[in-house]
Copies of this chain bind each other. A is one copy, B any other.
Amino acid sequence: MAEPRISSIDGKLAEEFAVPSHVEEVKEKMAAFASFHAEAGRKVVLITSGGTKVPLESRTVRFLDNFSSGRRGASSAEYFIDSGYAVIFLHRHRSLYPYTRMFLTINMLDALEFQGGGAPGNTGEVVVNQQVLPNIAKVLKRYEEVKESRLLLPIEFNTLSEYLHLLKAAAQALSTIGSKAMFYLAAAVSDFYIPASEMPEHKIQSSNGPLQLSMKMVPKILSPLVKDWAPQAFVISFKLETDASILLDKARRALDTYRHQAVVANVLDSRRGYVVVVTPETQAELILTEEDVKNEVEIEERIVSNLTLAHDNFITQQVA
């Protein structure tokens, strides 16, 4: 019955959003990654992370973007790996990345020095100053272990079009492992876009006067993802609002509409210390205390812990 609506989303994707040339290659890579880890008894999570770029011109000088450093996705990836998951990390080019996110606030050259200081004749090694980067040895060790065990598959996107097509490819690639797949859709995806057919080729000229932009609504890709592309998977969407008063209502409405498993609801100003995990039956507030903050606990550790437990229950129920 829902056929026409869904194929219309598929049709829209093909018509109005440029297909990235490497999508089939990436899909095969993701499918191979998923079956390798599923066979080894691991669950696989697809994390989306960072904002999407929405071009206003086809030779793009200007674009619409969504606020997102990619912090939540990058840190969640680390906690999922610590929980035994293999992670496909579908992220915005140059957004925060697992493990390297520790370099965010420093200028790397301020953390390097010549071994033995500036002693004359010293042509030696360049070393990390571990007073500037106190966790570097621990983080590097963990990064190397993860690389060695191939638990992290990074895939990049830049534009909204790339994001949409790569997410569809990921959903199809992960459908083979059924309920062992989790989708953790933390990316900040634009709700609006300009179809390729309505986009000017060249840079919009300011000499033409004020800019009137008319943007269409991005198709709700969660709908075919849940219904068609990966119907057995455990799917989590994220809801970010600036107005706390409408947040939970919107989260519940999303669950009603898309019939997926959970919404992580958060408010812009408090997102690093407070989220609500909303499911059809439950509502769990996750909060960092002052003590937690002092101990550098991250809220993503709590989110991931909540969701991996729910995912295990979900898998058990599917099998039963």
Contacts and interface: CB of A to CB of B under 8 A. Distances in A.
Interface of A: 53, 56-57, 59-67, 97, 99-100, 103, 107-109, 112-115, 123, 125-128, 130, 136-137, 139-141, 143, 188, 190-192, 201-204, 206, 209-218, 240-243, 268-269
B65 A65 contact: yes
A206 B240 CA distance: 13
A127 B114 CA distance: 10
**Copies, count:** 2
A62 B61 contact: no
Nearest to A245: B202
Contact of A212 (B109, B126, B214): B214
B127 A242 contact: no
Contact of A67 (B61, B139, B215): B61
B140 A240 contact: no
A141 B122 CA distance: 12
Nearest to A220: B206
Contacts of A201: 242
A57 B242 contact: yes
A240 B109 contact: no
A99 B108 CA distance: 10
B143 A109 contact: yes
Contacts of A216: 210
A107 B115 contact: no
Please list the 3 inter-chain residue pairs (A to B) with the smallest Cβ-Cβ separation, ordered nearest first.
Answer: A191-B206, A59-B242, A213-B213
Given A62-B65, A62-B66, A213-B214, 7 more contacts: A59-B242, A61-B242, A109-B143, A126-B127, A202-B243, A209-B217, A211-B214
Nearest to A112: B140
Given A109-B140, A127-B127, A61 B212 contact: no
A16 to B, nearest CB: 14
Nearest to A130: B126
Nearest to A191: B206
Contacts of A57: 242
Contacts of A63: 64-65, 67
